[in-house]
Amino acid sequence: MFKYYLFTPGPTPVPPKTSLAMAAPIIHHRSPQFATVLAEVKENLKYVFQTQNDVLILASSGTGGMEGVVTNTLSPGDKALVVRAGKFGERWAEICKAYGVEVLNIDVEWGRCVKAEQIAHGLDKNPEIKAVFVQAHETSTGVKFPLKEIAEVVKKRETTILVVDAISALGAMEIKTDEWGLDVVVGGSQKALMLPPGLAFVCLNEKAWRFVEESRLPKYYFDFSKEKKSLEKNQTAYTPAVSLIIGLRENLRQIKQIGLENIVKYHQRLSDGVKMAVKAMGLSIFTKENPSEVLTAVEAPKGIDAQMIVKKLREEYGITIAGGQSQLKGRIFRISHMGYTDEHEMVMTIAALERVLIELGYELIPGTGVKAIQQILLQK
């Protein structure tokens, strides 16, 4: 018998109090009760996004929010600059293509980071580019993008917006939407916001809303103007994911109470511990530049299939971590420390990882990784 643990970069564990709140009998979405819930959620989302602008709440996975940004801000034949530094950068390019947006890619080796100068160079060469699409954190490689610097570059141009996929970053990393001048920020429910999958969030500033007014791509369900009008009345355009939003209210209260700064520090602490542990075990961190505090991406030792590590942890130890995506499948595994995840769980995960590696023939003295993470966690 074993318990079930989930340390993947989406979905993440849901706090029990939140699960209980979501189990309450359903209420009607046009009732005053629900409007009260939405009003509170609306305010607290602004806190998490660090913005004064409203954050739209959509019933879809994060990708729905990404698609909505493309169809609501661009027109057929527009040009977009996409940073492809991993799986999710590729997704921006695929969505743009699907809607007839011309894509110029900045390809970055997986595991490395884009530089703001590369974006400046791309925009100088093609000043007609309407939007720059990036990640805050590329979940497939564990790389954190220099958002503030990138925003400095895009901010100078009246006719270009910066669109940030912060789906795996919001609520774990520092994202200063207004202060940094991020024009569009997309979030999702099942990452550091500690909810089941099913909600996407999109925040647009004034500059981005001007793009929405001029956008001519086809849209119906994801119509941001309609959603904005509804949200002003504490409603959504269509039937919202009522139970998820009630769960969100719980989590946002928690986040606000603990404070974003403390939450970011906590993620850094877990990340430092896990990274130190895997290094002590003789393993290499896959992320070559700007490793994030959201997850730790690790190269499997020579001769061991990373998928085997993932499988054994799941099937024999009850611990679900993530493997590599696309070209990284079999080469890396990813331990998420985002959201409702604590120190003891990370010590336990390292302990289980030690056993799995030894069982797979890797030479290791048991306790090597555990000792390293404990040493980090002992530092107050």
Residues in binding site for substrate? 334
Out of 10, 181, 240, 339, point to the residue binding ligand PLP (CB under 6 A).
Answer: 10
CB of 9 to ligand PLP, least distance (A): 6
Q: Which of residues 179-218 bind ligand PLP (CB under 6 A)?
A: 188, 197
Give dist(CA 262, CA 147) in Å, integer: 21
Cα-Cα-Cα-Cα dihedral sign, residues 260, 261, 263, 267: positive
Going by the DSSP 8-state scheme, the letter that residue 211 receives in this structure is H
Written as one letter, the residue type at 235 is Q
CB of 139 to ligand PLP, least distance (A): 3
CB of 89 to ligand PLP, least distance (A): 9
CB of 219 to ligand PLP, least distance (A): 18
CB of 105 to ligand PLP, least distance (A): 17
Q: Going residue by residue from 121 to 140, which x/- string records binding to ligand PLP, judged by CB under 6 A?
A: --------------x---x-
Residue 47 in 3-state DSSP?
helix
Nearer to ligand PLP, 171 or 188 (CB): 188
Answer yes or no whether residue 168 interacts with ligand PLP by CB under 6 A.
Answer: yes
Nearer to ligand PLP, 7 or 362 (CB): 7
Nearer to ligand PLP, 62 or 301 (CB): 62
Q: Residues 3, 317: contact at Cβ < 8 Å?
A: no
Which single residue is written with the structure tokens 């020579």? Answer: 302
- Residue 110: φ, ψ to 5°: -60, 130
Written as one letter, the residue type at 268 is Q
Tell the burial category of 259 from Cβ atoms under 10 Å away from its Cβ (0-12, 13-18, 19+): exposed
CB of 378 to ligand PLP, least distance (A): 31
Query: 295 to each of 61, 65, 74, 257, 358, how far by Cα in Å?
Result: 20, 22, 32, 24, 23
The count of other CB atoms within 10 Å of the CB of residue 4 is 9
* Residue list, annotated binding site: 334
Nearer to ligand PLP, 11 or 369 (CB): 11
Tell the burial category of 75 from Cβ atoms under 10 Å away from its Cβ (0-12, 13-18, 19+): middle
Nearer to ligand PLP, 139 or 287 (CB): 139
Q: Going residue by residue from 41 to 80, which x/- string records binding to ligand PLP, judged by CB under 6 A?
A: --------------------xxx-----------------
Q: Which of residues 313-342 bind ligand PLP (CB under 6 A)?
A: none
Q: How many residues bind ligand PLP (CB under 6 A)?
A: 13
Selected range binding ligand PLP among 28-36, 111-119, 160-168, 268-276, rule: CB under 6 A: 160-168
CB of 166 to ligand PLP, least distance (A): 8
Helix residue ranges per DSSP H, the chain: 16-22, 32-49, 62-73, 87-98, 116-125, 147-155, 177-180, 206-214, 224-232, 242-258, 260-280, 306-317, 343-359, 368-378
Answer yes or no whether residue 165 interacts with ligand PLP by CB under 6 A.
Answer: yes
Token couple for 81 = 């600059």
Out of 101, 167, 319, 347, point to the residue binding ligand PLP (CB under 6 A).
Answer: 167
Residue 320 in 3-state DSSP?
strand
Nearer to ligand PLP, 62 or 171 (CB): 62
Which residues here bind ligand PLP, judged by CB under 6 A? Answer: 9-10, 61-63, 88, 135, 139, 165, 167-168, 188, 197
